[in-house]
Amino acid sequence: VDGDWRKNRRPMINKQGGVCYGVDINRNFDVAWDFKLHFAPGGVSASDDPCHKYLYVGPAAASEPETRNIVWLLDSLPGTGWFVDVHSAIPAVFHSWGLDSNQTTAPEQNFLNPAFDGIRGNPDDSYGEFITEADLDTVRGLARAMKDAITLVAGDDYNVGPAFELYATSGASDDYSYSRHLARPELPKVLGFTMECGHEFQPGDGGRETTIKEVCAALLAFCAQVKSASA
């Protein structure tokens, strides 16, 4: 397997009848998964080509067992209020949304509204994904707490912001976790984050130790902040 392998190992038959392997789990969740419907052409980092090296979204939303495990976890533990997906390597701490830029004034602009299909993902468009001011303040505060903890233990300066600042994403885990209570109001709210740790996909010995310290510090700070806010 390629040392930079991103996907799982599901075998998929391509258009030529050959076999390609893997679905990108972080494009397989059921939030704006059908990127050709929901996004502007070329507006999102995703692919429906089973042979794409990194970004194949899969044959259907939540088609993969890894994806369904997360769905099951959130379904089975209704007390869950936070979700952090750890990736590498930028370094940054991202929060929702990744679908488009955030805005807090036009609730009708949201991933469930078909009136805005075909325009999402373009940073120059007039569309922005709605998030309440309260939720935006909360996720910003938690992300900054992670950043500050990393700086304290390792001196590194992680970026903080909505995932869309990196690029538009469909079917991502952080957006899915946050979207659940919007798509199904009977479900509890889960605030979603992605931590992009370290500076290299394959760090050397020293780099690995530093990255471990950064991740541990960030997650501990996150939990402490959540506990403090809940007290």
CA Rg value for the chain? 18
Other CB atoms within 10 A of residue 62 CB? 17
Q: Average pLDDT of 120-133?
A: 93
Across the range 82-93, mean pLDDT stands at 95
* Model pLDDT, residue 2: 75
Indicate whether 222 pLDDT > 80: yes
Burial of 189 (0-12, 13-18, 19+ CB in 10 A): middle
Q: Please tell me what DSSP assigns to residue 189.
A: P
82 pLDDT band, cuts 50/70/90, is very high
Residues near 162 by Cβ (< 8 Å), separated by ≥ 6?
Answer: 94, 95, 96, 97, 98, 101, 102
Q: For the residues 44-72, what does the mean pLDDT come to?
A: 97
pLDDT tens-digit series, residues 141-156:
999 999 999 999 999 9
d(CA 6, CA 52): 11
147 or 204, greater pLDDT: 147
pLDDT of residue 13: 86
CATH number of the domain at 67-230, out of 3.40.630.10, 1.10.510.10, 3.40.50.2300, 3.30.470.30? 3.40.630.10
The per-residue pLDDT for 1 is: 61
Report the candidate in 84, 183, 210, 208 with the shortest Cα–Cα distance to residue 139: 84
Rounded mean pLDDT, 167-172 = 96
pLDDT of residue 5: 87
> What is the overall mean pLDDT for the chain?
95
